[in-house]
Amino acid sequence: MLANLKITEYLEKAAAGTAVPGGGSVAALNASLAAGLTAMVANLTIGKKGYEAVEEEMKDIVGKATELREKLTAAIDRDAEAYSEVMAAFKLPKATDQENELRKLEIQKTFKHAALVPLEVAKNAVKVIMLAGRAVGNGNKNAVTDGIVAAMNARTAALAALYNVKINLSFIEDDEFVKKLTREINDLEQQAKSKEQEILSNVVI
C-alpha cells in the first residue's frame, strides 16, 4: 500500500517513470497532511490558558480533522487503484465485436470511478479548509502559521484533485454524468479559492 510507505519511499515512487502514484494520489496525500496540521493547531489550543472558551470547539475540530485525515489517507491508494483499473480495461481483448463492446463499456465504467475518487478527495479537502479556518480564527495564535499552511495545502489538494476529475470526464460519453460533475467541480473550485482567501485576509503576521 502506498499509504504505508516511508516518506522517502513514496517520493521515490512518485519520481519514477510509472503512472502511479500520480497527481490524484499526491492530492490525497496533501489533503491528509492538511487535516493533520489542522488537528495539530486545535490540539495545541486545548488545555491552554486563555483558550478555555474555545476548548469544546477545538475538540470538535480534532475529531472531524482526524476522521478526514483517515479518509484522505485511504484515498492515496484508492486513486492509484482507480487509475490501474482504467489501464486494465484498455488491455481487455477486442478481437470480436462482442469483446470490443464489452471493452468499451468497461472503459467507461472505470473512467467514471476514476473521476469519482478524486471528486471525493476534493470534497473532503474543502472540508479541511473550513476546519483550518476555524482553527486559525479561534485557535492558539502561536500555531497560526501551521493553520495557514493547512488551509493552503488543502486548497491546492482540492484544485489538484479536481483537475484529475476533469481529465477523466474528457473520456466519458455519458453527458448527464459529465454535466453533473462539472457543476460540482465549479462549485468546489469556488469554495476552495474563496475560503482560502478569506482565511489569509483575516491573518496579520
∠ CA 47-124-117, nearest 5°, is 150
Spatial separation of the C-alpha atoms in residues 179 and 181, rounded to whole Å: 6
Q: How many domains does the chain have?
A: 1
- Is 3 part of a structural domain of the chain? no
- pLDDT tens string 88-145: 999 999 999 999 999 999 999 999 999 999 999 999 999 999 999 999 999 999 999 9
Q: How far is CA 47 from CA 1, 34, 51, 65, 132, in A?
A: 36, 22, 7, 18, 19
Spatial separation of the C-alpha atoms in residues 178 and 191, rounded to whole Å: 20
- What was the pLDDT predicted at 19? 82
- Is 170 part of a structural domain of the chain? yes
Read off the pLDDT band of 17 (50, 70, 90). Answer: confident
- pLDDT tens string 47-91: 999 999 999 999 999 999 999 999 999 999 999 999 999 999 999
Domain of 171 in residue numbering reads as 22-201
- Is 1 part of a structural domain of the chain? no
Read off the pLDDT band of 18 (50, 70, 90). Answer: confident
Provide the 3-class DSSP secondary structure of residue 98.
helix
* CATH code assigned at 31: 1.20.120.680
Of all residues in the chain, the percent with pLDDT exceeding 70 is 100
User: Looking only at Cα atoms, what is the longest distance across the chain?
Assistant: 73
- Is 43 part of a structural domain of the chain? yes
- Is 132 part of a structural domain of the chain? yes
- Is 12 part of a structural domain of the chain? no
- Is 186 part of a structural domain of the chain? yes
Give me the DSSP letters along 149-202: HHHHHHHHHHHHHHHHHHHHHTT---HHHHHHHHHHHHHHHHHHHHHHHHHHHT
- Is 15 part of a structural domain of the chain? no
